[in-house]
Chains A and B, each alone.
Chain A
Amino acid sequence: MLRYIARRLLALPVVLLLVTLVLFVLMWQLPLEQRAMLYMPSIKAHPTEAELARLTEQIIERHGLDRPAPVQYLAWLRNLARGQWGYSPTWRQNVLEGLLRRAPATLELALAAMIPAIALALWLGPLAARYRHRLPDQAIRLAASVAWAFPAFILGLLLMNLFYARLGWFPPERWSLWAGQVVRAEPFRWYTGLYGLDALLNGRLDLAVDALRHLVLPAATLAVAQWALLTRVLRAAMLEALSQDYVSTARAKGLPERQIVRRHAQRNALLPLISTGGVAVSLLITGTVLVELVFSYPGVGRGAVQAILATDVPVAVGFALFAGLVTILASLLADVLYAVADPRLRLY
């Protein structure tokens, strides 16, 4: 197991290097002044044209932007490691700071979507496998197929028309107007950055309800595709597990079907769920961007897209890098979990 994890950890720097290299090759197409923005440290909020031009000169000089590509690449990597991800002219701050400032809202959304999605998939995936080719299976499979193909933003628009315009139950954005004033004012304290949780920690039940009302629609929209993905993975895994020899052995011993499914098949069927982690997170990131846009939810994705549409190159590069790092860390975590969970890998 340790050897497996060690091998995985050894591959990590290579992948990280390749990720940054891909981005650097793309950056290389930019004109010099724009590339300089990617090396720019945090500067004061409203620089004049002349100040900006002088700063750009300094940056080109200091990081060797007029020298060969490898020199520039190393300078960029050094900056990245120091947390200097460039200066965003639209956010008016360091790109990494801007991304991290918006991250808790997105994390809250992702958690609110993933927890019910995983729970439902754990129930329905194995269920479909047990009733293979019979009605429950056909229904779940069809539902998952359609849900998987259903673009999140269309679902979001339809849900918004129904539950906001028609019924008025669940409003868009992150908080109501009055709640926004409360959370920005003095007695309210942020502990985790997650609005719902912090509302509870502050002992404000009304705010927690407000958080929930604003989370229901975006989280549901996001959860649909994740549910479809995980249900299909779990169904396939369960089918695989049920066709194994040890299940036949268990049946031959005369064990009750319930026990065979619970004790013998189900546990092994969970393994592929873990290894889907990386793909699921990558999908989740694209999903959060769309959902945040549809529901005007102030997270990383919406902030980044708005900046990028205003031709903010440092944010475009920073967001891709950030999303890439999150995905890589998620799949690394998934692999480590897999190694811990799978007894076959303990031999290594």
Chain B
Amino acid sequence: MLRRIWRYPELWLGGLIVLAFAVVALAAPLIAPPQEDNPYLIPKDGFSRSPLLPNAEHPLGTLPGQYDILYGLVWGARTAFRLGLAITLGRALLGVLLGLVSGFMGGLVDALLMRLTDAFLAFPILAAVLVMLSTQPALPFDWLRGTSSRTDAIITTALVLFGWMSYARLIRGNVLAEKAKDYVQAGVAVGVPRGRLMFRHVLPNALQGLVVLVASDIGAMVALAAVLAFVGLPVGTFQGRPLADWGQMLNLARNWVIGLPGQPSAFWFTYLPTSLAIVLFAAGWNLVGDGLRDALDPRAAR
């Protein structure tokens, strides 16, 4: 098994990247000791509008408004894991449940649920998030960041609500294949209750491919959250202050990307490390997903 991993460079390369981020996220209080009660608030060192070059006090420089970039990157890794895992888990749970019911029940339920899947698939995710934000008043709960930002709660909900479809399709296909097998017939014959048959017997056997989807979704969700902050939605802020959130940091830096006349790279430090973090995080998980897809494919096992 270990030797086979070498045949899938995606798997170990992606695994290493994700592991590195996990280490940074876990060691965040050691690398960048928090200075306030809420560690996700980036410490602010002054009020100047222009970014500061890397120096002894700020190893990676500061963003406009004098927010420390290194601190934001390190604690942003925690935000990335929380965000990616929470949204992906929500999507997977909803999708697995709907796919299981759809495939197991069959008939009219199946037909309707599948058309519903088609309908949700029709909305590009960005359009879905925007329409959710414009139409929904404050949600009564904020289940993600422990902050009271209305938009964060709505956006994460939107990403779950409009993102379960590929899970549902995958699981439904698996369930349909399982249903045709003898053990299910036997279960029906000896009178196992439907719910028990569905959850205890069929479901555990119908989860192939789920890991692959989850792995690549985690990275994609972090990239997507960054996109939303970049678009200008108030994501990753708390009482008007930016949280340690890579997308929000990039949003703060966006006006400095062009640099100064004659010095196009004058402010590289405001956006390059943050961009790198987002790209590496997304690519790392994506590589893990791709590697798993290839490694777990029974036809590829040679």
Q: Is B257 an interface residue (CB 8 A)?
A: yes
Q: Is A320 an interface residue (CB 8 A)?
A: yes
Q: Which of B10, B115, B137 contacts A15 (CB 8 A)?
A: B115
Known contacts A29-B137, A289-B126, A320-B130; decide if A145 and B286 are in contact (CB<8 Å): yes
> A165 contacts which chain B residues (CB < 8 A)?
257-259, 264
| Bitwise interface map of B from 115 to 159 toward A, beta carbon under 8 Å scored 1, else 0 | 110111111111110111111110000000000000000000000
| Bitwise interface map of A from 306 to 320 toward B, beta carbon under 8 Å scored 1, else 0 | 001101110011011
Q: Is A347 an interface residue (CB 8 A)?
A: no
A30 touches B286 (CB 8 A): no
Q: Is B271 an interface residue (CB 8 A)?
A: yes
B127 touches A285 (CB 8 A): yes
CA distance A282 to B166 in the complex (A): 13
Q: Determine the residue in chain A with the shortest Cβ distance to B302.
A: A133
B7 touches A151 (CB 8 A): no
> B254 contacts which chain A residues (CB < 8 A)?
157
> A131 contacts which chain B residues (CB < 8 A)?
none
Q: Is B80 an interface residue (CB 8 A)?
A: no
Q: Is B98 an interface residue (CB 8 A)?
A: no
CA distance A31 to B136 in the complex (A): 10
Q: Is B25 an interface residue (CB 8 A)?
A: no
CA distance A328 to B117 in the complex (A): 12
Quote the shortest CB–CB distance from B222 to chain A (angstroms). Answer: 9
Q: Which of B119, B132, B220 contacts A19 (CB 8 A)?
A: B119
Quote the shortest CB–CB distance from B20 to chain A (angstroms). Answer: 16
Q: Is A84 an interface residue (CB 8 A)?
A: no
Q: Which of B124, B223, B285 contacts A151 (CB 8 A)?
A: B223
> B226 contacts which chain A residues (CB < 8 A)?
151, 153-154
CA distance A278 to B299 in the complex (A): 27
A324 touches B134 (CB 8 A): no
B136 touches A29 (CB 8 A): yes
Quote the shortest CB–CB distance from B19 to chain A (angstroms). Answer: 17
B125 touches A286 (CB 8 A): yes
B132 touches A26 (CB 8 A): yes
> B120 contacts which chain A residues (CB < 8 A)?
22
Q: Is A160 an interface residue (CB 8 A)?
A: yes
> A312 contacts which chain B residues (CB < 8 A)?
134
CA distance A148 to B219 in the complex (A): 11
Known contacts A286-B125, A290-B231, A293-B231; decide if A316 and B116 are in contact (CB<8 Å): no
Q: Is B245 an interface residue (CB 8 A)?
A: no
Quote the shortest CB–CB distance from A96 to chain B (angstroms). Answer: 15
A313 touches B135 (CB 8 A): yes
Known contacts A11-B115, A145-B10, A164-B258; decide if A30 and B123 are in contact (CB<8 Å): no
> B132 contacts which chain A residues (CB < 8 A)?
26
Q: Which of A138, A164, A279, A324 has the most CB of B within 10 A?
A: A324
> A157 contacts which chain B residues (CB < 8 A)?
254, 257, 271, 275
| Bitwise interface map of A from 16 to 44 toward B, beta carbon under 8 Å scored 1, else 0 | 00110111001101100000000000000
Q: Is B205 an interface residue (CB 8 A)?
A: no
Q: Is B93 an interface residue (CB 8 A)?
A: no
Quote the shortest CB–CB distance from B178 to chain A (angstroms). Answer: 22
> B131 contacts which chain A residues (CB < 8 A)?
23, 26, 316-317, 319-320
Q: Is B69 an interface residue (CB 8 A)?
A: no
Known contacts A22-B119, A142-B9, A158-B275; decide if A149 and B223 are in contact (CB<8 Å): yes
B135 touches A323 (CB 8 A): no
Quote the shortest CB–CB distance from B126 to chain A (angstroms). Answer: 4
**Residues of chain A at interface, number, CB under 8 A:** 59
Q: Is B290 an interface residue (CB 8 A)?
A: yes
Q: Which of A27, A142, A158, A278 contacts B135 (CB 8 A)?
A: A27
CA distance A325 to B124 in the complex (A): 11
> A18 contacts which chain B residues (CB < 8 A)?
115-116, 118-119
B127 touches A166 (CB 8 A): no
Known contacts A165-B259, A243-B299, A305-B130; decide if A150 and B264 are in contact (CB<8 Å): no
A15 touches B118 (CB 8 A): yes
Known contacts A26-B131, A285-B124, A286-B124; decide if A149 and B286 are in contact (CB<8 Å): yes
Q: Determine the residue in chain B with the shortest Cβ distance to A167.
A: B264
B124 touches A166 (CB 8 A): no
Quote the shortest CB–CB distance from B87 to chain A (angstroms). Answer: 16
Q: Determine the residue in chain B with the shortest Cβ distance to A311.
A: B134
Q: Is B92 an interface residue (CB 8 A)?
A: no
B287 touches A145 (CB 8 A): yes
Q: Is A58 an interface residue (CB 8 A)?
A: no
Q: Is B230 an interface residue (CB 8 A)?
A: yes
Q: Which of B124, B137, B264, B290 contacts A282 (CB 8 A)?
A: B124
> A23 contacts which chain B residues (CB < 8 A)?
131
A149 touches B282 (CB 8 A): yes
Q: Is B53 an interface residue (CB 8 A)?
A: no
A319 touches B130 (CB 8 A): yes
> B130 contacts which chain A residues (CB < 8 A)?
304-305, 308, 316, 319-320
Known contacts A142-B9, A149-B220, A151-B282; decide if A160 and B135 are in contact (CB<8 Å): no
CA distance A344 to B161 in the complex (A): 36
Given contacts A11-B118, A286-B126, 9 further A-B contacts (CB under 8 A): A26-B135, A138-B9, A146-B286, A153-B230, A282-B124, A305-B130, A308-B134, A323-B123, A324-B119
What are 5 A-B contacts defined by CB distance under 8 Å?
A149-B282, A164-B258, A279-B121, A285-B126, A309-B233
**B residues within 8 Å of A by Cβ?**
7, 9-10, 13, 115-116, 118-128, 130-137, 219-220, 223, 226-227, 230-233, 250, 254, 257-259, 264-265, 271, 275, 278-279, 282-283, 285-287, 290, 299
> Top 4 A-B pairs ranked by shortest CB distance?
A18-B119, A316-B134, A165-B264, A149-B282
